Amino acid sequence: MFLCAVVAGALMFVDTHFTRMELVRAQLSTLVAPIQRVVSLPSDILNWGALALSDQRALVEENARLREQLLTLSHRVQRMASLTAENVRLRELLDAAQERDVPYLTAELLSLDPDPFTHQMVIDRGRRDGVYAGQPVMDSSGLAGQVSELSAYSSRVLLVTDASHALPVQVNRNGLRFIIQGTGSYDALKVLHVPDTADIRVGDLLVSSGLAGRFPVGYPVARVTEVGHDPGEPFAAVKAEPVARLQRSRHFLLLFPPEPALNVVEGRWEPELDPLAIEAAVQLGALLSTPVSEEER
């Protein structure tokens, strides 16, 4: 240690009083540079790792925000085709009531049913999130199915392509209404009971008609791929392809459509009446039941 101190002092003295030491100092710096690089390497690795993790975390968060934003925008935009056709039919009805936006809840795919004859999936939303049986489910392209079973934190969804699933649809081009049913194949649906003279063509978009009171009106369901006419049959053979990407989508929307105007009560349909209308009817009944004199009549 003492020898190193003496050598260091001598070098500083020589460097101060002699100009030739600049060349020696430059050569020594070149010799020591690899050692300095090796010494600073652990610090550089730590700094690079921290920066990489920070960038990755920011990218993951941004990706999640953009994915949710994409679902939200797709939910709003995909109804434009149906609303445009509806606007053509209703443009003269200036006092038509504006349709309200349908609330929704985002969900993510957990698993698919391994049974090839059953088209079902499990999502990460359940009864705790307000999900209910029969709730419509869609992806960024169109209707995917409906909730069939519930648990506290997950739900089972019956897809539109399942052979046991059917829903009412209408042709977006002209409003013709039919029933569409799954075939057990992810890329095929069949349209039931289409008259042979019906105006339906290949490429027509089929949207939900809302007649069953379960699916909201105007959401894309399928696109017609084949229309077959048999002279000996009263109905045409119409096939369609679902617009939802059932085998590729991982994120979905659970829709909360408004309650229908009619409710099933004890096996019969009963209309919902406004409380003010009920009160007015009661007052009118009381007035009619009050006896009046012949002169007042």
Q: Looking at the structure, do residues 215 and 146 belong to the same domain, yes or no?
A: yes
Specify the pLDDT at position 164: 94
Q: Do 191 and 168 meet the contact criterion of CB atoms below 8 Å apart?
A: no
Q: Does residue 206 carry a pLDDT above 80?
A: yes
Specify the pLDDT at position 283: 62
**What residues make up the domain containing 187?**
104-255
Backbone angles phi, psi at 176, to 5 degrees: -65, 135
Other C-beta atoms lying within 10 Å of the C-beta of residue 281: 11
Amino acid sitting at position 199 = D
Q: Looking at the structure, do residues 93 and 115 belong to the same domain, yes or no?
A: no
CATH of the domain at 216: 2.40.10.340
**Cα–Cα distance, 182 to 158 (Å, whole number):** 11
Specify the pLDDT at position 14: 72
Specify the pLDDT at position 201: 94
The domain total for the chain is: 2
Question: Is residue 55 exposed (0-12), middle (13-18) or buried (19+ Cβ within 10 Å)?
Answer: exposed
Specify the pLDDT at position 289: 55
Q: Does residue 92 carry a pLDDT above 80?
A: no
Specify the pLDDT at position 98: 47
Give the residue-averaged pLDDT of 115-123.
90
- Whose tokens are 């053509």? That residue is 88
Q: Looking at the structure, do residues 235 and 196 belong to the same domain, yes or no?
A: yes
Least confident of 93-97, 142-146, 258-262: 93-97
Amino acid sitting at position 227 = V
Domain-terminating residue out of 54, 70, 99 = 99
Q: Which pTM value belongs to this model? A: 0.60
Q: Do 222 and 259 meet the contact criterion of CB atoms below 8 Å apart?
A: no
Q: Do 173 and 204 meet the contact criterion of CB atoms below 8 Å apart?
A: yes
- Whose tokens are 């649906």? That residue is 189
**Cα–Cα distance, 106 to 123 (Å, whole number):** 10
Q: Do 136 and 105 meet the contact criterion of CB atoms below 8 Å apart?
A: no
Q: Looking at the structure, do residues 151 and 240 belong to the same domain, yes or no?
A: yes
Measuring CA to CA, which residue among 80, 58, 81, 65 is closest to residue 251?
65
Those residues whose C-beta lies under 8 Å from the C-beta of residue 131, and which sit 6 or more positions away, are 105, 125, 147, 150, 155, 254
Q: Looking at the structure, do residues 68 and 152 belong to the same domain, yes or no?
A: no
- Whose tokens are 């060349």? That residue is 23
What proportion of the chain, given as a percentage, has pLDDT over 90?
41
Most confident region among 219-223, 272-276, 283-287 by mean pLDDT: 219-223
**Cα–Cα distance, 41 to 35 (Å, whole number):** 10
Mean residue pLDDT across the chain = 80
**Cα–Cα distance, 180 to 267 (Å, whole number):** 26
Backbone angles phi, psi at 250, to 5 degrees: -120, -15
Q: Looking at the structure, do residues 188 and 115 belong to the same domain, yes or no?
A: yes
In a domain, 169, yes or no: yes
In a domain, 77, yes or no: yes
Give the residue-averaged pLDDT of 52-64.
78
Q: Looking at the structure, do residues 81 and 113 belong to the same domain, yes or no?
A: no
Confidence of residue 122 (pLDDT cuts 50, 70, 90): very high
Beta strands 120-123 and 155-159: pairing type? Answer: antiparallel
**Cα–Cα distance, 112 to 212 (Å, whole number):** 27
Q: Does residue 186 carry a pLDDT above 80?
A: yes
In a domain, 154, yes or no: yes
Q: Does residue 107 carry a pLDDT above 50?
A: yes
Least confident of 28-32, 38-42, 135-139, 175-179: 28-32
Measuring CA to CA, which residue among 210, 168, 166, 216 is closest to residue 189?
166
Cα dist from 250 to 131, 230, 245, whole Å: 18, 40, 9
In a domain, 221, yes or no: yes
pLDDT one-digit tens code per residue, 136-145: 999 988 999 9
